[in-house]
Amino acid sequence: MHRSVAKLALLLATVIFSVAAAHARQLQLAHAAGASCLPHERDALLAFKQAGNDTYDFLASWQRRHKDCCRWRGVTCSNETGHVIELDIGVTFLEGKISPSLLSLEHLEYLNLNNTNLLGPDGTSLFPEILCSLSNLRHLDLSGTRFSGRLPAQLANLSNLEYLDLSETSLHGPNGRAPEFLPRKNLRHLDLSGTQFSWRVSPQLFNLSKLEYLDLSHTSMSGILPPQLGNLSNLRHLSLGFMQDIHTSDISWLTHLHFLEYVDMSNINLSRADVFLVANTIPSLKALILISCALPNADQSLTQVNLTKLEQLYLSGNYLGHRIETCWFWNLTSIKDLELESTYLYGPFPDALGGMISLQRMNFNYNGNSATMTVDLKNLCDLETLLLDRSLAFVNLTDFVMKLPQCSSNKLKMLSSNHNNMAGVLPDMVGHFTSLKSLYLYNNSITGAIPTGLVNCTSLRTVALGLNQLSGQIPTLPRSLTQVDLSMNSLSGPLPSDFGAPDLTVLSLSSNYITGHVPSPICKLQNLVFLDLSQNRFEGEFPRCSSMPNLIFVHLSNNNFSGNFPPFLQNCSQLTFLDLAMNGFDGALPVWIGDLVNLRFVQLNHNMFYGDIPANITSLVLLQLFSLASNNISGSIASSLSKLIGMTLKHLPRSEPQWFEFTGSTDEMLPVDILSVVMKQQELKFRGAAFTDIVSIDLSLNYLTGELPDDITSLNGLLSLNLSWNHLSQKIPAKIGDMKSLESLDLSRNNISGEIPTSLLDLTYLSSLDLSYNNLAGRIPTGRQLDTLYAEDPSMYDGNSHLCGLPVQRNCSGNSPPEHGNHQRSENAYEPVMFFYIGLASGFVVGLWLVFCAFLFKRAWRHAYFRLFDKLCDKVYVFVVVTWGRINTKATAS
Ligand SMILES: *[C@@H]1O[C@H](CO)[C@@H](O)[C@H](O)[C@H]1NC(C)=O
Ligand SMILES: *[C@@H]1O[C@H](CO)[C@@H](O)[C@H](O)[C@H]1NC(C)=O
Ligand SMILES: *[C@@H]1O[C@H](CO)[C@@H](O)[C@H](O)[C@H]1NC(C)=O
Ligand SMILES: *[C@@H]1O[C@H](CO)[C@@H](O)[C@H](O)[C@H]1NC(C)=O
Ligand SMILES: *[C@@H]1O[C@H](CO)[C@@H](O)[C@H](O)[C@H]1NC(C)=O
Ligand SMILES: *[C@@H]1O[C@H](CO)[C@@H](O)[C@H](O)[C@H]1NC(C)=O
Ligand SMILES: *[C@@H]1O[C@H](CO)[C@@H](O)[C@H](O)[C@H]1NC(C)=O
Ligand SMILES: *[C@@H]1O[C@H](CO)[C@@H](O)[C@H](O)[C@H]1NC(C)=O
Ligand SMILES: *[C@@H]1O[C@H](CO)[C@@H](O)[C@H](O)[C@H]1NC(C)=O
């Protein structure tokens, strides 16, 4: 018994020993071979993984059964000692906590946690102090992490640190004092860009003799740039752009930085700093970034330009305002990337541009349309991007295209020349640009046909040729296209039977003279999001597509479409905007319209729809614009209107619809033609997303009967309610005063009886009221805005023989003879052409300008970047003039 136990023990011991020995041998072997890992470090790594949350499985290889942790993803061990020395798990989106087990990796030299979502061991986003104990650390990258708050002073203990990147975090320095925290001795790379650091820039800050890379851009630092920066003699990269409030008048210290390759001083006022003379003494410079530096000019005559390595030159946002050719940099053939946006340079481009053979990208947007470009660019074989929006005075497009790079491997990817007075035809040879992805020529004077050669641009994804004078038929388009804007031209003839571009998401053909049926291959455009065929001469039924599930925006107004409410819309559950106005659609409105729950804007006016308003319409809880005006709708108004909560104030603020994903270089260029909405007895025109805030119901000119349901008064976000020219009867709801947002109320030409509720006086925003030609009786409420409105429009109570009171100067106690109003429906006045003129005459000028301004400011705020107000005004002007002309032409033509 004892013996066998002893034997067993011996056996076990032997086994254990031999396993251990083998393991040790294995380890040694592995070490010798340069890869293995120490068990306690493996455990530490596993504990690290355990504490985190590896949602995306980046650390899938971190498994106990994969013994050699040196081969795990992101782990590197030392060849000599086998210790883990590098941990690189940047961009893994790891979540959870950093495990204190990290401290076991005491030989760690390199730690990259960039763009992870880790928190400290304590579960907070405070800087994890345990990192300060990794005393061998040389490289620490925490950029884009969630860490915030104050850095601990112990960070200075990391005396071996050479590389520190805290960019794009919410970290800031200890006690807002000078940066004692920095481990100075060995630091070569310091990136604090986009952090919350807010010191005054002090000389001590730059007492870092080995520093090669310094990025303080987009921080809240302030003060005067100290000349001690010039002591950082090893500096190669200096980025000081867009700091809070930095001043300097003397940057001569830059001349001491003999290795400097990259300098960014954007948004620092350098108006008196002679920056180009200084820069010219640093021949090592590769990038000079001086955006919005208040530079007065760039026409220094540098006797000898030293900057032969310069690749990147950004001078955008400086009002240089002199002739283009006098700039000092045109002879620098090393330049690859040139930004001159909003510099207001003018005159001809110099021929030297044609010799800048390294040029890959030139941004000359927004320079005020006074430059000319006749330079031969044939030899710029590397040119990928050329941006000239709103900068050229006049260009012959044909000549211009002929002079674009014509190299065997053509790299041109993006050409943008919007708002430029480009005239002439787009030549067929545009098909040579087989790399071209985006072609923007919006708002020019391009004539002729769209060249058939375009189909050979096999990389083309976006084409914007809107607002030109293109004529002829639309040819087959390149297969690669996803976004097309050909709106506001004079294109005619039918659409090609095959679009040839199955991946289209945006198709805007509005305001042309396109005729015929929409060909059924349009149904193949399964990715279509935005479809605008408005203001053309399309006819017949829209093809019965089975589904186009991604449609958000459908604008078919002002055509001759006929047939029922288009059945293909039934499955468009994303549909937000639907405008079928001014067509010949007929039939009943489908009940399934209630399933299109994302609908916000619905215009069906001026068609021949008949039958009831489907009760299911009240399922459209986002609905804010609904017009059925001038149809043959009968029946009564549903009483469950209170369900339309999109028309209540509770629903504010409304988001801007997101269908304008047209990724042009100019955000003002939207593939959206004007939307017209009748409000306040005038036609208001909106462009882009300006109509986001409209809340309106228009059921005028129909055959509605019954009462005006009380429920309608719960729609207190409604700005405009028009029920005129119907057969509505009974009373105006007493609580009409609850519709606090109402600016326009038109109940004229019905059979409404009873008194005018005094609560009408509560509608303080009311600026248009029409109650004429009803059977209203009793005393007219007076006071506040009602008196003003009456003064402006004395006819607003006309044709109500039993009304009395001050405004109509009929004594309420007395018996006055009933007045005979003219109840004839004069629908002719609302026929499309006349309708236009009425709108134009009364509302166009005032309404349009107001709406435009609001819209433009809004967008300008969102995207403002060197966009000045006068440019916007230019645009409004151009747009108004062009539109005005176009509408006039159309109206007279038809
Ligand atoms: C990990 O993340 C997933 C998804 O974010 C979450 O459902 C889960 O609860 C998380 N687990 C832990 C341990 O935090
Ligand atoms: C380790 O050795 C391998 C092969 O000899 C070599 O490729 C690698 O660069 C070395 N790694 C380190 C960190 O020295
Ligand atoms: C983040 O880490 C990734 C992966 O290690 C690396 O490629 C990238 O350059 C790092 N980014 C920054 C901003 O440090
Ligand atoms: C950092 O160094 C200081 C002395 O310079 C020492 O008192 C402190 O304990 C160190 N902190 C850490 C976390 O090692
Ligand atoms: C060009 O650089 C050299 C060397 O830094 C300098 O001596 C010379 O003055 C510079 N030339 C000009 C025009 O600044
Ligand atoms: C630039 O080149 C043009 C012609 O090639 C020459 O006339 C001019 O002097 C050059 N300018 C400089 C500053 O080198
Ligand atoms: C543009 O140039 C071409 C060829 O040089 C010429 O035929 C055409 O008339 C010009 N067009 C305009 C509008 O000037
Ligand atoms: C498109 O390119 C092909 C092949 O290079 C050529 O044969 C054809 O004529 C081009 N088409 C047009 C319309 O230019
Ligand atoms: C219309 O609404 C009614 C009741 O609200 C509902 O039963 C019916 O399913 C809806 N029909 C459609 C097609 O949405």
Q: Which residue has the higher pLDDT, 858 or 189?
A: 189
Q: How confident is the model at residue 845 (pLDDT cuts 50, 70, 90)?
A: very low
Q: Which of 386, 389, 391 is nearest to 403 (CA)?
A: 386
Widest Cα–Cα separation across the chain = 133
Q: How far is CA 866 from CA 344, 382, 421, 505, 659, in A?
A: 11, 27, 21, 30, 25
Token duo for residue 550: 């991604």
Lowest mean pLDDT among 82-91, 192-201, 486-495, 805-814: 805-814
Q: Which residue has the higher pLDDT, 1 or 649?
A: 649
> From the CA of 32, how far away is ligand 2's center (Å)?
12
Q: Which of 541, 578, 577, 545 is nearest to 559 (CA)?
A: 541
Q: Name the closest-CA residue to atom 3, ligand 3.
A: 90
Q: Name the closest-CA residue to atom 10, ligand 5.
A: 281
Lowest mean pLDDT among 398-402, 667-671, 758-762, 767-771: 667-671
> From the CA of 304, how far away is ligand 5's center (Å)?
8
Separation of alpha carbons 430 and 500, rounded Å? 18
pLDDT, tens digit, 9 for 90 and up, residues 722-759: 999 999 999 999 999 999 999 999 999 999 999 999 99
Cβ(424) to ligand 7 under 6 A?
Answer: yes
User: What is the arithmetic mean of pLDDT over 767-795?
Assistant: 89
Q: Which residue has the higher pLDDT, 43 or 654?
A: 43
Token duo for residue 33: 């071979």
pLDDT, tens digit, 9 for 90 and up, residues 191-232: 999 999 888 887 777 788 899 999 999 999 888 998 989 999
Separation of alpha carbons 436 and 432, rounded Å? 9
CB–CB of 210/233 below 8 Å?
A: no
Q: Which residue has the higher pLDDT, 49 or 28?
A: 49
Separation of alpha carbons 699 and 23, rounded Å? 86
For the CA of 86, the closest atom of ligand 2 is 13
Residue 715: other Cβ atoms inside 10 A: 23
In terms of DSSP H, where are the helices of 396-486?
A: 397-402
For the CA of 591, the closest atom of ligand 9 is 13
> What per-residue confidence (pLDDT) applies to 876?
33
> What per-residue confidence (pLDDT) applies to 689?
61
Given a cut of 60, is residue 463 above it in pLDDT?
yes
**Kind and range of the H or E run holding 870:** helix 869-893
CB–CB of 743/766 below 8 Å?
A: yes
For the CA of 447, the closest atom of ligand 7 is 13
> From the CA of 88, how far away is ligand 3's center (Å)?
9
Q: Name the closest-CA residue to atom 9, ligand 8.
A: 453
Given a cut of 60, is residue 836 above it in pLDDT?
no
pLDDT, tens digit, 9 for 90 and up, residues 238-275: 999 999 888 888 999 999 999 999 999 999 999 998 99
Query: In this structure, which ligand is nearest to the CA of 51?
Result: 1
Cβ(406) to ligand 7 under 6 A?
Answer: no
Pocket test for ligand 2, best of 78, 79, 109 (most atoms within 8 A of CB): 79
Token duo for residue 732: 């105006």
Going by the DSSP 8-state scheme, the letter that residue 260 receives in this structure is: -
Q: Which residue has the higher pLDDT, 672 or 560?
A: 560
CB–CB of 566/542 below 8 Å?
A: yes
Q: Which residues pair with 625 in a beta bridge?
A: 601, 696
Q: How far is CA 588 from CA 585, 607, 618, 619, 698, in A?
A: 10, 11, 17, 18, 18
Q: Which residues pair with 679 in a beta bridge?
A: 682
Q: Name the closest-CA residue to atom 12, ligand 4.
A: 133
Separation of alpha carbons 65 and 124, rounded Å? 32
Q: How confident is the model at residue 870 (pLDDT cuts 50, 70, 90)?
A: very low
For the CA of 255, the closest atom of ligand 5 is 5
Lowest mean pLDDT among 353-362, 643-652, 763-772: 643-652
Burial group, residue 293, by CB count within 10 angstroms (0-12, 13-18, 19+): buried
Please name the residues in contact with 229: beta carbons below 8 A apart, sequence gap of 6 or more: 206, 235, 238, 253, 254, 257
**CATH number of the domain at 553-813, out of 1.20.120.160, 3.30.160.270, 3.90.226.10, 3.80.10.10?**
3.80.10.10
> What per-residue confidence (pLDDT) applies to 98?
93
Burial group, residue 829, by CB count within 10 angstroms (0-12, 13-18, 19+): exposed
Q: How confident is the model at residue 672 (pLDDT cuts 50, 70, 90)?
A: low
Lowest mean pLDDT among 568-577, 604-613, 859-868: 859-868
User: Collapsing DSSP states into helix, strand and coil, what is residue 23?
Assistant: helix
Q: How confident is the model at residue 324 (pLDDT cuts 50, 70, 90)?
A: very high
For the CA of 304, the closest atom of ligand 6 is 13
For the CA of 96, the closest atom of ligand 1 is 14
682 phi, psi to nearest 5 deg: -145, 160
User: What is the arithmetic mean of pLDDT over 293-317?
Assistant: 93
SS3 content of the chain, % helix, strand, coil (to 5): 25, 20, 55
pLDDT, tens digit, 9 for 90 and up, residues 114-170: 999 999 999 999 999 999 999 999 999 999 999 999 888 889 889 999 999 999 999
Q: How confident is the model at residue 659 (pLDDT cuts 50, 70, 90)?
A: low
R_g over Cα of the chain: 36
Given a cut of 80, is residue 621 above it in pLDDT?
yes
> From the CA of 159, how far away is ligand 4's center (Å)?
11
Q: Which residue has the higher pLDDT, 490 or 821?
A: 490
> From the CA of 380, how far away is ligand 6's center (Å)?
18
Please name the residues in contact with 224: beta carbons below 8 A apart, sequence gap of 6 or more: 201, 246, 247, 248
Please name the residues in contact with 784: beta carbons below 8 A apart, sequence gap of 6 or more: 761, 764
> What per-residue confidence (pLDDT) applies to 447?
97
Percent of the chain clearing pLDDT 90 (strictly above):
66
Q: How confident is the model at residue 844 (pLDDT cuts 50, 70, 90)?
A: very low
> What per-residue confidence (pLDDT) applies to 10?
40
Q: Which of 441, 446, 448, 434 is nearest to 463 (CA)?
A: 441
Cβ(367) to ligand 5 under 6 A?
Answer: no
User: What is the arithmetic mean of pLDDT over 358-387?
Assistant: 96
Q: Name the closest-CA residue to atom 12, ligand 7.
A: 424
Separation of alpha carbons 581 and 713, rounded Å? 27
CB–CB of 500/522 below 8 Å?
A: no
> From the CA of 53, how far away is ligand 1's center (Å)?
6
CB–CB of 102/44 below 8 Å?
A: yes
CB–CB of 265/240 below 8 Å?
A: yes
> What per-residue confidence (pLDDT) applies to 56?
86
Q: Which of 449, 460, 370 is nearest to 412 (CA)?
A: 460
| Type of residue found at 826 | S
619 phi, psi to nearest 5 deg: -75, -15
pLDDT, tens digit, 9 for 90 and up, residues 846-864: 333 333 333 333 333 223 2
Q: Name the closest-CA residue to atom 8, ligand 2.
A: 79
What is 162-218 written as a DSSP string?
Answer: -EEE-TTSEEE-GGGSS-TTS--TT--EEE-TTS---PBP-GGGG--TT--EEE-TT
Separation of alpha carbons 269 and 400, rounded Å? 37
Residue 658: other Cβ atoms inside 10 A: 10
User: What is the arithmetic mean of pLDDT over 386-413?
Assistant: 94
Q: How confident is the model at residue 675 (pLDDT cuts 50, 70, 90)?
A: low
Q: Name the closest-CA residue to atom 9, ligand 6.
A: 331
User: What is the arithmetic mean of pLDDT over 707-725?
Assistant: 94
Q: Name the closest-CA residue to atom 8, ligand 9.
A: 616
User: What is the arithmetic mean of pLDDT over 27-50?
Assistant: 74
Locus of tokens 């059964």: 65
Q: According to the per-residue pLDDT averaged within each range, which of 172-176, 448-452, 499-503, 638-642 is highest?
A: 448-452
> What per-residue confidence (pLDDT) applies to 872?
33
User: Collapsing DSSP states into helix, strand and coil, what is residue 572?
Assistant: coil
Residues making up the chain, counted from first to last: 894
Q: Name the closest-CA residue to atom 4, ligand 5.
A: 281
Pocket test for ligand 6, best of 326, 330, 331 (most atoms within 8 A of CB): 331
Q: How confident is the model at residue 805 (pLDDT cuts 50, 70, 90)?
A: confident
Q: According to the per-residue pLDDT averaged within each range, which of 17-26, 59-68, 283-292, 806-815 is highest?
A: 283-292
